[in-house]
């Protein structure tokens, strides 16, 4: 038996992040005190993420080639305008959301509901707001083991200073309200310049719509659909969202008693439970996952999925690489 399989047997529970066990960071970013943005919870589930707070809890640090995180926000709460160096994908678990592009959130807008997916390209300012009447949760995937740092819209720096926060060049936050000062030898991050803003892309509403797949819209059938009661649709990889991400993403639905038999993959494989209850067996160990839970499966490990309930299950699967991986059936 390989060392990978031994590790899996010893630490399967450590490879699951239950929704109920998520540890939030309330001051992960420079806009954490800005009114309208001060009640958001940031989660780093797999990988370091892009948090600017060194105390952000990382649930699973193991490199996957991509990062997984989450954002939970009450009604009316906004994530301020920013840009990323790598791909950023959101899958709506709960709530109603509006995504706004552009320096002033005025270039393009689109609204999403549970089960909708958006992949926002690099080199564009984006922000998002919970526009619903209840708390909402976004499950997120960022490209790369190191997704880089956030580039903030200029006005975000001004608002942050008004509320005692200074962002340093190394990406760390200084909280002057807590008596902190800029350490010797370090400098504040320069405010994003007009030239940097001009270098970013501008999207229209129709272009932004091409970055979204609505719940139930996918027509690209995955391998798991060969099994009775199982439907797999590939959301990221084929058109229209076929630009480079460093990962693919599929949605898997299992009807009552449906099963995906034991198989292996040679790439990192992460599952998120959108709805229902699923039994997962990895190298002989079994665990039941429920809505909001995240599981990572080691490369080469045997895994099986079973809906042991009388209600349908919906899973999101993220797999390393830009091509659909080869699957070894047992």
Give me the phi and psi of 10, to 5 degrees please.
-85, -20
pLDDT < 50 stretches in the chain = 1-10
- Domain 223-329 in CATH 2.60.120.10? The answer is yes
* One CATH from 3.40.47.10, 2.40.50.140, 2.60.120.10, 1.10.10.10 for 22-213: 2.60.120.10
Q: Determine the 3-state secondary structure of 292 from DSSP.
A: coil
- Are the folds of 22-213 and 223-329 the same? yes
Supply the pLDDT for residue 12: 79
Contacts of 21 (CB under 8 A, 6+ apart): none
CA dist., res. 67 & res. 47, Å (int):
5
Exposure b/e, 287-316, CB count within 10 A at least 16 = b: eebebbbbbbbbeebbbebbbeeeeebbbb
Q: What is the DSSP letter of 8?
A: H
Is 302 within 8 Å of 283 (Cβ atoms)?
yes
In whole angstroms, what separates CA 171 from the centre of its chain?
Answer: 20
- pTM value is 0.93
Domain residue ranges of the chain, discontinuous segments joined by +: 22-213, 223-329
Task: State the Cα–Cα distance between residues 84 and 255, nearest whole angstrom.
Answer: 37
CB 158 within 8 A of CB 27: no
pLDDT digits (tens, 9 = 90+) for 136-192: 999 999 999 999 889 999 999 988 988 899 999 888 888 898 899 999 999 999 999
Q: Name residues whose C-beta falls within 8 Å of residue 3's C-beta, 6 or more positions apart in sequence.
A: none
């Amino acid at each position: 038996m390989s060392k990978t399989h031994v590790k899996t047997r010893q630490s399967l529970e450590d490879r699951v992040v239950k929704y109920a066990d998520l540890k939030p960071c309330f001051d992960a970013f420079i806009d954490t005190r800005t009114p309208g943005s001060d009640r958001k919870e940031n989660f780093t589930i797999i990988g370091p993420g892009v948090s600017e707070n060194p105390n952000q809890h990382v649930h699973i640090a193991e490199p996957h080639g991509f990062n997984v995180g989450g954002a939970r926000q009450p009604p009316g709460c906004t994530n301020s305008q920013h840009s990323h160096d790598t791909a950023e994908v959101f899958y709506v678990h709960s709530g109603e959301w509006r995504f706004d592009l552009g320096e002033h959130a005025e270039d393009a807008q689109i609204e999403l509901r549970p089960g909708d997916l958006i992949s926002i390209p690099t080199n564009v300012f984006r922000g998002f707001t919970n526009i619903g009447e209840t708390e909402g949760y976004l499950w997120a995937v960022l490209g790369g083991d190191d997704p880089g740092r956030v580039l903030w819209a200029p006005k975000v720096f001004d608002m942050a200073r008004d509320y005692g926060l200074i962002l340093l060049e190394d990406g760390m936050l200084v909280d002057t309200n807590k008596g902190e000062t800029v350490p010797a030898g370090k400098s504040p991050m320069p405010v994003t310049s007009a030239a940097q803003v001009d270098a970013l892309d501008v999207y229209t509403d129709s272009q932004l719509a091409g970055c979204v797949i609505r719940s139930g819209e996918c027509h690209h059938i995955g391998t798991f659909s060969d099994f009775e009661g199982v439907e797999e649709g590939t959301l990221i990889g084929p058109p229209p969202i076929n630009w480079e991400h460093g990962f693919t993403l599929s949605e898997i639905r299992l009807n009552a008693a449906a099963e995906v038999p034991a198989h292996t993959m040679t790439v990192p494989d992460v599952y998120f439970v959108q709805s229902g209850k699923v039994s997962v067996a990895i190298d002989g160990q079994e665990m039941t996952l429920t809505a909001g839970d995240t599981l990572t499966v080691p490369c080469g490990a045997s895994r099986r999925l079973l809906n042991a309930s009388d209600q349908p299950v919906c899973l999101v699967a993220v797999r390393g690489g830009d091509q659909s991986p080869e699957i070894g059936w047992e």
